[in-house]
Structure 1
């Protein structure tokens, strides 16, 4: 069993109490709303992106009753409700709490956990056990309530997908063990799989102690010497050290039918143009989840950090991580044909169901008029510039903050007072920039050329 890390006593920061960073953490939640130009905004944490169809119904009901009716997916697999009435009071939180979407008021903004969306479906092990345990540990830790809304946990099924997202604490499935990564360090610590969630929590609590007085929200914000000392402290308690560079490029699920190595269809994967879902699209997704649900996963949707949705089914997935035995089909014949039929219906509803969609790889921040800081309606501009599928993804930002931008390699389009700046980003490297004045045709051509 993993021993407690040095100085692992509970942090003196009280639940909901003051900390040196409270004044600047403006990340919204369901209890602390953000005032945007299109109304109040609530961000509902969905750990691992795992959402039952019933809870999805609740989100839609809250969006329709208090907001603009739409649901917006974030780059962490969460859901944002926009256009909320300033007089809505505690109504949204009350409904979300009754549905189990708000298990701890003190920790609601700390429940930032991403997980491999295809875990258990494509031959990779399931991380559902890790997810439920880690979420429970975070909600049960008084110290963890002081984590900022920016701090991120990642549970990687060994695919390298969410490990590439630059989380603060990452667990990686490998064989019968797990690897623990803190920040962007190349060092990982090997420990038994069963100890992973507890180790992740202890690492987060150790970060809080290291960050006192520094103003750091995340591991990467720590001074270099403090960050190095933190990694050494965690390594002392965690286990053997190995060298494993973090993957540079995330591996988002490809839209379409998901198959296991033996050829069985195990899930449906769709992308959501600009992460925005109309009520009819959301209802269709939940109806599909109910139709293809199974005993293991129930009627489940998995929201991905790439603004997509995976619906497990129609066959039994592979055995979960830490168990062995042959995978079994559900015994329902003809389901693969039904899955293809469902995929066609989702495509007809405007969702991305294949790599040939012109919306594949296109993303944007909320832009004007929803955000006062945005210099342009970048969503409309992104839609006007949609064309042939490019080799690289493209992300449009209405200002230099570049909220929600992807990781890895992409074409970065940023609106400036002088026009649109287009650059090629590869990790920390940015190629020389090109600027395009206010000419829609020229802008679309420049973006298409950059993506190619």
Structure 2
């Protein structure tokens, strides 16, 4: 066995480079563009069950993780995944193949175009371009098409976003964050977009060279060197013959959970993105009879396409959710101490307690982290619980990159009480069209801390 294929990575694991965790080794299968067919889903379920613990996780990058593998099972697991077209033989290719694509642009009538062929071409080019092997492992590209399930709020290093302008489809080339806050480099036509993306990423690699503290993400390079340094020649500065905002088609807030696309897709979410091999096996059997597919989304959900909807009882049996208003979808959590040596709390049990809080029904999103690495934290998290030595710090998002701690040393058993107090204050302060989170963000941190403590100590959080 070669050294490259036996290494264990500390972060950003793949199939060729798994990561050691508290419950064994973790393999991450890169986002399958266009989804999984029945055979691939079956293979994943079997590999998870035979060589791992049977636990799988959907990630916010549209990837799928297999947990609980041991060293002896790595090679046969890799071989089966490679044979199914789910992994690369070359670890260096796998490391740069970080492309997230709109999951249903091929069947979404409101999409600007089907971007999946373009995304596959980009994925191949990334693997064939030796210069880009120097990209930091977390750097990823998003290929978007608008429509009913847009990726506007999904963060990415490089955004390639299709919409209609003068003469047909154009791609907005932008860097970092969400669609609304990204730095726009310019506009290009579909036939040029792969070359443009490679040029931006190559320039990012060049700018990192020779730096004592090189930027780890493309947005950080823009902040340090300016957008012009990453803009390749030939880009249009504005959308020809159109307006970006007008060209976008609003999507559904439920991210496709339940029926969507006029009945052409059926979305199933899993709390915390966690599912068992038995669920994936059942879904494989369901799509096999109709030649359907399972599309992985960045919302930690699966879209079942080309087949009738799954019976609700089966979804419940698998631990899935099809109601977009289910409060469990408004909380997220890393695996915590049950599966990670860095975790000091049972994060998912504490997150389930948080799901009972009314704050979430008012548009809030809570993430519970077992340590300060904040693995799996979604971009739209507004309340953050961070474990330190078995207790939590509770922080509120004040700006996209700034958090303010309002409680410290919070016992896990008091998480639900603390969030209920936060919700009570939000309801007292809120009014008009303001969300509960927006009401909280108006309050000064020390005032919020004092009021929360008073409610928790007096039992007044109803």
Fold match by TM threshold 0.5: yes
Q: Does the 8 Å contact 2:160/2:173 carry over to 1?
A: yes
1:149 aligns to 2:137 (yes or no):
yes
Partner of 1:237: 234
Aligned to 2:114, which of 126, 129, 135?
126
- 2 CA distance for matches of 1:200 and 1:344? 44
Q: Does the 8 Å contact 1:53/1:286 carry over to 2?
A: yes
Gaps of 5+ in 1: 1-15, 17-21, 294-298, 315-337
1:162 aligns to 2:151 (yes or no):
yes
- Aligned to 2:282, the other structure's residue is in SS state helix
Q: Relative to structure 1, is the Cα distance of residues 384 and 409 closer, same or farther in structure 2, using a 3 angstrom cutoff?
A: closer
Aligned to 1:300, which of 293, 312, 315?
293
- 1 CA distance for matches of 2:276 and 2:227? 46
- Aligned to 1:137, the other structure's residue is in SS state helix
Q: Count the aligned residue pairs.
A: 394
Q: Quick check: which one's helix share is greater?
A: 2
Partner of 2:427: none
Aligned to 2:255, which of 253, 262, 272?
253
Aligned to 2:68, which of 74, 83, 96?
83
Judge which range, 422-431 or 357-366, deviates more: 422-431
- 2 CA distance for matches of 1:71 and 1:24? 19
Q: Does the 8 Å contact 2:8/2:18 carry over to 1?
A: no
Gaps of 5+ in 2: 424-435, 437-462
Partner of 2:346: 377
- 1 CA distance for matches of 2:366 and 2:140? 24
Aligned to 1:27, which of 4, 9, 12?
12
- 1 CA distance for matches of 2:276 and 2:342? 25
Please report the TM-score for the alignment, with normalisation by the length of structure 1.
Answer: 0.79
The structural deviation recorded for 1:136 is 1.6
Partner of 1:404: 376
1:181 aligns to 2:168 (yes or no):
no
Q: Relative to structure 1, is the Cα distance of residues 206 and 353 closer, same or farther in structure 2, using a 3 angstrom cutoff?
A: same
- Aligned to 2:36, the other structure's residue is in SS state strand
- 1 CA distance for matches of 2:70 and 2:421? 42
Partner of 2:201: 204
Q: Relative to structure 1, is the Cα distance of residues 49 and 147 closer, same or farther in structure 2, using a 3 angstrom cutoff?
A: farther
**CA RMSD, aligned part only?**
3.0
Partner of 1:194: 191
The structural deviation recorded for 1:97 is 1.1
- 1 CA distance for matches of 2:97 and 2:190? 21
Judge which range, 64-73 or 178-187, deviates more: 178-187
The structural deviation recorded for 1:193 is 1.6
Q: Which fold has the larger relative contact order, with Cα–Cα distance below 8 Å and residues 6 or more apart in sequence? A: 1
* CA deviation vs aligned residue, 1:347-392 (integer Å, no higher than 9, x gap): 3432110123231222101110311111211012222443265221
The structural deviation recorded for 1:29 is 1.2
Q: Does the 8 Å contact 1:118/1:253 carry over to 2?
A: no
Please report the TM-score for the alignment, with normalisation by the length of structure 2.
Answer: 0.77
1:430 aligns to 2:403 (yes or no):
yes
